[in-house]
Amino acid sequence: MTEKEKSLTAEELTFRVQRYEPTRDEKSHLQEFVIPFTKGMTVLDGLNYIKEKIDNTLAFRTSCRMGICGSCGMLINGLPKLACHTPVEELGKDVVEIKSLPNYGIIKDLIPDLIPLFESHKAIKPYILRSDSEEMEEPTAEYTQSPQELEEYLQFSYCVKCGICLAACPTSATDVLFLGPQSLAQAYRYCADSRDEGVRERTAIVDSGHGVWLCHLAGACSEACPKGVDPALAIQLLKRTVLAQTLRLRKKKEPSLVAPPPAEEKPKLPVPEFTAKR
Amino acid sequence: MRQSYFRVLQLITGVAVFFLIAAHVTALRLDDFAGVFGVHIEEPTSWGSVMDRATSAGWASFYIILLAVAIYHALYGLRVVLMELPWPPVIARSLNYIMMGIGIAVFGYGTFIALNAYYS
Amino acid sequence: MNVAEVKKKPLKNYLGIWGWVWAGRYNVERYLYTLQRVTGLGIILYGILHLTANGMRISGEGLWEDTMSLFENPVFAVGEYLVIAAFLIHALNGLRLILQQLGYTLGAPKPPIYPYSHALQRRRPIVLAMGALGAILLLLILIDFVV
Ligand code: HEM
Ligand code: HEM
Ligand code: FES
């Protein structure tokens, strides 16, 4: 706690930032920047300060600066976090070490190569799969879904694809081919959707050598997830779904139906005088 | 074959090996615990005691089952650990067969020890 | 280097095997994973030794008794205790993993409302109970060993 209080009164912060310039460097190195501390500043604010005032060659991704876009995942004092969602005070230290997310390649400075993440996300077919292809091509109405059915997967649909879970996952630390917590959790998100009929198809993808069974429930992904998505829970539920599918224990469930057309047109409310006349 | 079949077998052998090894270790090393279950073996690792068990059909089959179950569980576990490492493609492709080969060899050797003593 | 070459070769930045062992201050379950792996591999190592020692039976009573007298050395007693401890930890944690990896005891998904919690965290009492049971059994086994 004392250290925390110290940082509250600190006037300056030391940022140790990982630098790597692909056209010049063989290895990455840490560069130190001393920047002023302002109350309530985030790590991203510090990086922006460096880029604007000290060294404009520093490269990092950011866009929304409010934990929505998932661009700014980095390794901050040893743990993967969103830079925009990490107040410096919360770290409790006036020395902040910022590195590129591990378990990815580094393109430049703090920019990880997220292509493997997106590729495995694509591989698990992250969209509703249905057998009524005509309705899918030319939809007549929406599919129905009850609030209870929505809650089965709602939590897992908040994923922003920042890739922090793979940086935390011990399996991803060595296995480049592992699908990873992000895409496995998304596989469950779609399998658990009452509108979806893709369990069979996704099982074939996920029940492979480098698929679900390389998850050992270390739970680091859920601990690190900045959006509270809980990928570890989704993956264990996915394991259950996959087993039920391959052992033929799964109850056949009809996917939800197309919403029926409204029985009759509701009478339009009369338009108030003062708007209609404009 | 589907990975999930192998995996389910590992979970089942995990439960089985739990009871088998617990019984094995309790009977042979933890005499106070064994006493609780009303089992008492004098000098369990002396030649006479070992040979008594080795020539009884019950114990011999217990050990052969333990051997099979533990080898499956352990080698599946080892395979998972090895699969997470970057290997040259040749080894990665033949990992399952390497594991199966090791498993069969170890099981053969262990059964030989047990049967050799059983028929002596 | 031209742009295309640079794009093709990002700098490798994987934590590697050390990343299995230590990755910062994470939850207990993260390190139970490490322990499960270490104890599993440790028991395999013991199994190899065990089968080799057992193989001495083939050569008859003399060699068997010689081998067994070797194991009376206190170093081996400590070793045997460690093996049983590893087995116990692996077994208890393994039983938890069997249940939880099939989605049991973890509860249903919960909408992420700040402050976030996750299923393992909400089920921490299971791990604590398991740890307490393990500690008691380890102590009892130690007493059995010493007495
Ligand atoms: C006492 C009963 C046992 C139970 C309940 C049990 C349970 C388990 C479970 C559930 C796993 C999977 C963990 C994961 O997903 O990472 C596992 C992994 C493993 N087990 Fe066991 N096990 C037992 C005994 C043994 C024994 C006797 C050995 C060695 C001869 C062994 C060796 C291994 C190995 C090497 C792994 C792989 C570790 C890893 O993937 O990280 N287990 N065990
Ligand atoms: C530290 C405690 C242990 C002691 C004192 C012990 C002792 C023995 C002894 C004396 C035998 C010969 C058979 C007999 O006399 O009944 C034996 C066989 C065996 N033990 Fe253990 N053991 C221990 C732990 C384990 C563990 C942890 C495993 C699991 C990996 C294991 C697996 C086996 C197997 C598979 C056999 C049968 C070998 C064969 O006949 O081919 N033991 N043990
Ligand atoms: S900048 Fe969008 S999540 Fe941080």
ipTM: 0.92
Q: Specify the CATH number for the domain of residue A165.
A: 1.10.1060.10
Scan for tokens 């859920």, then name that residue.
A222
pLDDT higher than 70, residue C4: no
- Span C116-129, mean pLDDT? 95
Across chain C, what does the average pLDDT equal? 91
- Span A194-211, mean pLDDT? 94
Give CA–CA dist A181/B15, Å, rounded: 27
The reply to whether A266 falls in a domain is no
More confident residue, A136 or B23: B23
**Amino acid C3: pLDDT:** 54
pLDDT higher than 50, residue A180: yes
Q: Which residue of B has its CA nearest to C97?
A: B11
* Band of pLDDT at residue A210, cut at 50, 70 and 90: very high
The reply to whether C140 falls in a domain is yes
Q: Point out the residue among A151, A153, A233 whose CB comes nearest to the CB of C106.
A: A233
The reply to whether C20 falls in a domain is no
Gap from CA of C50 to ligand 2 centroid (Å): 7
Are A99 and A123 contained in the same domain? no
Pocket of ligand 2 (CB under 6 A): B 21, 24-25, 28-29, 45, 50, 53, 63, 66-67, 70, 110, 113-114; C 43, 46-47, 50, 54, 80, 83-84, 87
Condensed to tens digits (0 to 9), the pLDDT of residues C131-141 reads 999 999 999 99
Contact A155/C112, CB-based, under 8 Å? yes
Check if the beta carbon of residue B11 is closer than 8 Å to that of residue C94.
Answer: no
Are A138 and A191 contained in the same domain? yes
Instruction: Please give the residue range of the domain that contains residue C35.
Output: 27-40+73-106+114-146
The reply to whether C1 falls in a domain is no
Q: State which of A42, A45, A64, A114 you would mutate to test the pocket of ligand 3, scoring each by most atoms of that ligand within 8 A of its C-beta.
A: A64
Does C51 reach chain B within 8 Å, measured CB to CB? Answer: yes
Give CA–CA dist A235/A184, Å, rounded: 6
Give CA–CA dist A91/B19, Å, rounded: 47
Check if the beta carbon of residue A80 is closer than 8 Å to that of residue A74.
Answer: yes
* Band of pLDDT at residue A137, cut at 50, 70 and 90: confident
The reply to whether C48 falls in a domain is no
Are A50 and A133 contained in the same domain? no
The reply to whether A147 falls in a domain is yes
Does A229 reach chain C within 8 Å, measured CB to CB? Answer: yes
The full DSSP string for A160-218 is ----HHHHH-TTTTT-TT---HHHHHHHHHHHT-TT---HHHHHHHHSSTTSGGG----
Are A107 and A136 contained in the same domain? no
The full DSSP string for A60-107 is ---SSSSSSS---EEEETTEEEEGGG-BHHHHT-SEEEEEPPTTSEEE
The reply to whether C7 falls in a domain is no
Contact B113/C95, CB-based, under 8 Å? no
Are A36 and A56 contained in the same domain? yes
Q: Point out the residue among C15, C106, C112 whose CB comes nearest to the CB of A103.
A: C15
**Amino acid B95: pLDDT:** 95
* Band of pLDDT at residue B70, cut at 50, 70 and 90: very high
- Span C19-33, mean pLDDT? 94
The reply to whether C57 falls in a domain is no
The reply to whether C56 falls in a domain is no
* Band of pLDDT at residue B1, cut at 50, 70 and 90: low
Contact C143/B32, CB-based, under 8 Å? yes
Atom of ligand 3 nearest to the CA of A63: 1
Instruction: Please give the residue range of the domain that contains residue A228.
Output: 115-246
The token pair at A208 is 């492979």
Across chain A, what does the average pLDDT equal? 91
Question: Which of A69, A94, A113 is a domain's end point?
Answer: A113
Are A26 and A120 contained in the same domain? no
Are A83 and A66 contained in the same domain? yes
Are A198 and A94 contained in the same domain? no
- Cis link prior to A272 (omega < 30° from 0)? no
Q: Point out the residue among C9, C37, C120 whose CB comes nearest to the CB of A219.
A: C120
**Amino acid A7: pLDDT:** 47
Indicate the number of domains in chain C.
1
Give CA–CA dist A110/A106, Å, rounded: 7
pLDDT higher than 70, residue A276: no
Give CA–CA dist C117/C101, Å, rounded: 19
Q: Point out the residue among B47, B85, B106 whose CB comes nearest to the CB of C61.
A: B47
Condensed to tens digits (0 to 9), the pLDDT of residues B21-32 reads 999 999 988 888
Please work out whether the CB of residue B19 comes within 6 Å of at least one atom of ligand 1: no
Does A156 reach chain C within 8 Å, measured CB to CB? Answer: yes
Q: Which of A136-145, C6-15, C100-109 has the weakest average pLDDT? A: C6-15
The reply to whether A255 falls in a domain is no
| pTM, 2 dp | 0.91
CA-based nearest distance B95→chain C, Å: 17
Phi and psi at residue A36, to the nearest 5°:
-70, 145
Condensed to tens digits (0 to 9), the pLDDT of residues A83-121 reads 999 999 999 888 999 999 999 999 999 999 999 999 999
The reply to whether C139 falls in a domain is yes
The reply to whether A254 falls in a domain is no
The reply to whether A269 falls in a domain is no
Indicate the number of domains in chain B.
1
Are A108 and A42 contained in the same domain? yes
Condensed to tens digits (0 to 9), the pLDDT of residues A233-243 reads 999 999 999 99
Q: Specify the CATH number for the domain of residue B91.
A: 1.20.1300
Instruction: Please give the residue range of the domain that contains residue B29.
Output: 3-118
